[in-house]
Amino acid sequence: MATTTPNYGWPVPTSTDYVKDGATAIEALGDAIDATVFGLGSTGLTLINTTTFSAVASQAVNNVFSATYDDYRIMLDITTGTSDAIVYMKMRTGGIDNSLLYYYAFPGFTSANAANNSNSFNVITGWDLIEIDSATSDLYSFNGDIMKPFLAKPTKLIGQKASTTPTGTPYAQSGSAVHNVSTSFPSFNLIASAGNISGTVKVYGYRK
């Protein structure tokens, strides 16, 4: 007589089963495994790209956004910087950065040179992801979700960063931002406001 597995309760044959009973249990087991494995791919994150860069003033991450996914997770780790600097993110299409004043952000993704508008957002030419101090290292990271960058809709960004003050004191901050023009972007660029940076950026897609 068939028994069941300890975790999922799937039917499995025993050594005393008749052939037909064992075959029935194996069929039911196969159906249960198929249903479970099929469901595993319907949610979660898929790694699309890992880019490691060393001593560069900017790092483009090209063709990571597509129609395959609507929303993405970006994980950026800056290990060193040669100057005190801000690392900006600009959306990119056709190998060209979008540097117009279409970037709106609440504090957390803006810098001191931003101009306030009537919506209490700051209007800038790129999102401020991380502030770095050249005297320290391995303190800088950004982790956030970017929504619908490839669709011809406004692109939204929500995330958290770990940075330092100009004197090297660590701090953490959250923010939200939007690129308010309905443009399809397959790529983005990371740009240091001064000096060179080294690190790694990973892009994950949220499975639909």
What domain range includes position 9? 3-40
Q: Is 80 found in the same domain as 8?
A: no
Cβ atoms of 199 and 77 within 8 Å: the answer is: yes
Q: What is the pLDDT of residue 27?
A: 80
Task: Say which CATH number the domain at 151 has.
Answer: 2.60.120
Q: What is the pLDDT of residue 24?
A: 79
Q: Is 68 found in the same domain as 8?
A: no
Q: Is 118 found in the same domain as 28?
A: no
Q: Which two tokens stand for residue 69?
A: 């996914």
Q: Which two tokens stand for residue 11?
A: 């039917």
Q: Is 113 found in the same domain as 191?
A: yes
Q: Is 36 found in the same domain as 50?
A: no
Identify the helix (H) or strand (E) that includes residue 24: helix 19-40
Q: Is 36 found in the same domain as 72?
A: no
Q: What is the pLDDT of residue 68?
A: 93
CA dist., res. 7 & res. 153, Å (int): 45
Q: Is 114 found in the same domain as 84?
A: yes
Which of 134, 136, 85 has the alpha carbon at shortest distance from 111? 85
Count CB atoms within 10 A of the CB of residue 146: 23
Q: Is 103 found in the same domain as 87?
A: yes
CA dist., res. 194 & res. 134, Å (int): 10
pTM comes to: 0.74
Cβ atoms of 206 and 45 within 8 Å: the answer is: yes
Cβ atoms of 104 and 138 within 8 Å: the answer is: no
**58-61 and 71-81: which strand pairing?**
unpaired
pLDDT tens series, the chain, 208 aa: 567 777 777 777 777 767 666 677 778 767 777 776 665 555 689 999 999 999 999 999 999 999 999 999 999 999 988 988 888 899 999 999 998 878 877 666 664 333 444 344 566 778 888 888 887 766 789 999 999 999 999 999 999 988 877 677 777 888 888 888 899 999 999 999 999 999 999 999 998 7
Q: Is 52 found in the same domain as 23?
A: no
Q: Is 158 found in the same domain as 83?
A: yes
Q: Is 86 found in the same domain as 18?
A: no
